[in-house]
Structure 1
């Protein structure tokens, strides 16, 4: 954690800033407050704040005088100036003292948080660079300099440098390790992990461990060979991670033959980690690692799966008819199609959020309560964005949709036709098609058509028309206009509705309404 001091003559503002900003989440802690510059300078020289938020106009020593004194004393403190005056002259004077930002009161929470986040990264980088300079001419210095591009090796023989540092290895391979969600430069558990990693790998001079934000870097001379070698490394790293319970991401770049080529291996490993969403978890990623959905399932030929509304339509019906078995197959194929055509992680997450949200919006609230999901629908939907791998995302949404489907109100699940007729009774007004229903109930269209005719004595379209016209008769007796009734029972064309009604009832809708 980096320390912060708030200097302002307004007690309410000092208190407000302490509670308004999520300091710990941003990697900071408040070490104290002061009402003016004189109070701020009374801090112990060993407790100089990393960041100071200072008001410009204060009684006694004002903000500009405080900044001037801080620079005179040589404090390594980063300053953010706050002011109730939109005065560019004050801003100009403040900037000459190296302030990081100039914000007007009242302070905007998002603006200050963004500035603090950026400053956190800068402080971390500055401290790391200082540490590197302190360790100059060490193997760690050489590797860090090469990876960061900050080296001054234009006139240095890489071969001679490698020999002088004991790193004249025949091969080199970069392995990157990260723990998403943790601050690697602050978390004591990660520092302990790196120490154990040094003991396990770097003690024999054939490996090297360093921190290159935000990764722990393991440079290997004995490079990884085959699936077994990669699996052994992952198990070993898991064991060394000890008390770190969060997920660990690991990627290895290609093997290179010279020290100054390790940047190529590093870039490959980094790009793999950036695409970790598309791989299965719990493994060392390499260029040879297949993505989770590199090839579509053999049945995934339906381009309509790329249409969000179409898939939403099908997912909702699968839940509504209680067809839990078809849900995973549908969502699996959606993920495969999107991955194969190159859709990104964000777009895939958004598509699955849309599908889940649309389904929850349409199903009966009873299903959610009976599913005994440990949380509200909003919590489930928010969880979609915390799934770090594409297979986990599919499994997460599938599990909840299957819960809902199994709660659908069917007492005899082997009676497919009863379920189908009940479904038609509840959705007669929608764009029902035999082909779509066949897919939901896992039949071919021709077979379902024969089964339907055998069970009801009517073809599917004729049965659907009869259900719709029966519903239309009920609505006509309630005094609705003919075109309104047509739309409510599923006919977008009122003339088509008129003809169907007359064919089945022997009279027009308006005549029926008058007699009723």
Structure 2
């Protein structure tokens, strides 16, 4: 419903406007009346009308002052000026402060409803444009979020608390850059980040109650971007601390856990150094015991897992070879071709023809 405020120091003039307007047909409602510019400005702040219909000559703050104040503080409000004086000076003020139209008394019902319809059309057009702008901003933000989630995954798996906190803050700063987010959008973002955290915790063998059940979000956590940042960062810190304790204080290295970790993260940039650091052993020890247990070194095991998955994905002809390379952890497609051919003795395209 489009809200309308009528401003005139004479009650019968306000009644005439109320009588002549086809409010219901236009989807409008008169939400308030004011006798002067000061009262009108106050009611505009309280009632948030979409349209203000105002006389020009009033005691106290007149129409000129009201137009100036509305233009400065409520620029989206549509203003219709009504005056009993065919005065060019008033018309100039109406134009300067972007009034939709300037009507002379006595009001013609047809002219009044025509200009109300124009306001309605303008408001609906602007609302549609704002909705489109919001949708585009939402898409832009959540598209960028994909990259931030990749960084969070990397830093979490590296047990890098500073990196996690820095990325969470960058996400929130990106959101603020697009303007004050709505609570639903902020809630969606928080859930996206917490869903990722649950996945990361379970992937790394954490079986804490919160990791299993998820992270309950309070209304206070969604009251502002800063509160949301604090809540999400605290959740990530809690699970990271638990993971570090779990790995650091085990009596001995669990090679099956190491292998499962590599199976889950084979498409990421896993190095022997990083793997050893994550499991709190030296890289020399990690290399030695892994080869003793599985008959191959860490690098060869990762390549083998990547090639097995690449062969599996090639069977689906809807997935491009470039996409298969990226999914397997190779940004350089040419390098992927060389590794694949060395491993299987044929190029990916030849393999695809055979499956």
* TM-score bracket for the superposition, by shorter chain length: 0.3 to 0.5
- TM-score normalised by the chain length of structure 1: 0.35
- TM-score normalised by the chain length of structure 2: 0.47
Determine which structure has greater relative contact order: mean sequence separation of CA pairs < 8 Å that are 6+ residues apart, divided by chain length.
Answer: 2
